């Protein structure tokens, strides 16, 4: 089984979806793409319990589920665990997407979806999660961390626009520059904003 994410370790996933056929579909798509599905849940409460038990890298979760909806489940999971969450929604209602983002979801996919929609969403969620983790290890103060994230996001946007980089590439560029020049991520982001944003 090939693992194209570039990492040596297979990413583990829990799939939470109350509709069995859709759940089986997701599991098949993920398995074929080289992910390891470690558990499946039919409701939000079960998803929370299974994440406690398996500690996966990612959770793919439907917004509308019995017992506990996906957004509430995501909030509970992210209160205790550091992982990436991808939400599935049957309606592209902006307030639901906003709630999912506020809960800490890194990406969302609107149903009906194909493998071509789902896999990139997982890759984005995983790379965003990595970014946050590396920023968190660099900065302990919460307010400082939030400000840094905002600046890093702004710098990434400028690099994507001006240098034609993808989101993960622009983050890696910032990370590499920070290591090479022995600067913090925020200092590098500020320099990019000043130079690129000001031009």
Domain harbouring 45, CATH code: 3.40.50.2300
| Domain annotation covers residue 132 | no
In terms of domains, do 95 and 144 share one? no
Q: Is the pLDDT of residue 94 over 90?
A: no
Average pLDDT value for residue range 3-11: 58
Of the listed ranges 125-129, 136-140, 148-152, the least confidently predicted one is 136-140
Measured in degrees and rounded to the nearest 5, phi and psi for residue 148 equal -65, -45
| Domain annotation covers residue 133 | no
Residue 179 pLDDT class (50, 70, 90 cuts) = confident
Segments of the chain assigned E as strands: 12-16, 36-41, 58-62, 84-89, 107-110
Average pLDDT value for residue range 184-191: 88
Angle, alpha carbons 71-11-136 (nearest 5°): 65
In terms of domains, do 16 and 109 share one? yes
In terms of domains, do 107 and 155 share one? no
In terms of domains, do 157 and 106 share one? no
Of the listed ranges 21-35, 138-152, 178-192, the least confidently predicted one is 138-152
| Domain annotation covers residue 174 | yes
| Domain annotation covers residue 126 | no
Distance of CA 149 to the CA centre of its chain: 14
Cβ–Cβ contacts within 10 Å for residue 112, how many? 9
pLDDT at 4: 42
In terms of domains, do 142 and 109 share one? no
The parent domain of residue 107 ranges over: 12-113
Between these two residues, 119 and 148, which has the higher pLDDT value? 119
Average pLDDT value for residue range 38-51: 97
pLDDT at 1: 41
pLDDT at 5: 42
| Domain annotation covers residue 64 | yes
Domain harbouring 143, CATH code: 1.10.10.10
pLDDT at 3: 40
pLDDT at 140: 66
pLDDT at 144: 77
In terms of domains, do 21 and 102 share one? yes
Average pLDDT value for residue range 3-24: 80
Residue in 105, 197, 118, 115 with CA at minimum distance from that of residue 151: 197
In terms of domains, do 160 and 68 share one? no
In terms of domains, do 32 and 106 share one? yes
In terms of domains, do 107 and 187 share one? no
d(CA 60, CA 70): 10
Average pLDDT value for residue range 64-80: 91
Q: Is the pLDDT of residue 177 over 80?
A: yes
Q: Tell me the HSE value of 64 on the side-chain side, using a 13 A CA sphere.
A: 9
In terms of domains, do 147 and 91 share one? no
pLDDT at 41: 97
Query: What total number of domains does the chain contain?
Result: 2
| Domain annotation covers residue 2 | no
> Does the global pTM surpass 0.85?
no
In terms of domains, do 142 and 91 share one? no
| Domain annotation covers residue 149 | yes
| Domain annotation covers residue 119 | no
pLDDT at 132: 79
d(CA 53, CA 23): 20
Between these two residues, 95 and 87, which has the higher pLDDT value? 87
Helices vs. strands in the chain: H and E counts, helices first: 9, 5
């Amino acid at each position: 089984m090939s693992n194209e994410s570039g990492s040596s370790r297979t990413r583990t996933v829990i799939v939470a979806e109350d509709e069995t056929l859709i759940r089986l579909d997701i599991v098949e798509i993920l398995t074929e793409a080289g992910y390891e599905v470690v558990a499946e849940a039919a409701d939000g409460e079960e998803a929370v319990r299974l994440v406690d038990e398996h500690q996966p890298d990612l959770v793919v979760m439907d917004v509308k589920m019995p017992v506990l909806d996906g957004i509430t489940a995501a909030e509970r999971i992210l209160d205790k665990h550091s992982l990436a969450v991808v939400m599935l929604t049957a309606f592209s209602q902006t307030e639901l997407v906003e709630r999912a983002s506020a809960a800490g979801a890194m990406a969302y996919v609107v149903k009906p979806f194909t493998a071509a929609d789902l896999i990139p969403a997982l890759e984005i969620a995983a790379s965003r999660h990595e970014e946050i983790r590396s920023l968190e290890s660099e900065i302990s103060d919460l307010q400082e961390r939030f400000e840094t994230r905002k600046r890093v996001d702004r710098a990434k946007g400028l690099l994507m626009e001006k240098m034609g980089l993808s989101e993960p590439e622009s983050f890696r560029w910032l990370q590499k520059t920070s290591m090479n020049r022995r600067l913090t991520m925020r200092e590098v982001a500020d320099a990019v904003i000043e130079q690129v944003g000001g031009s």
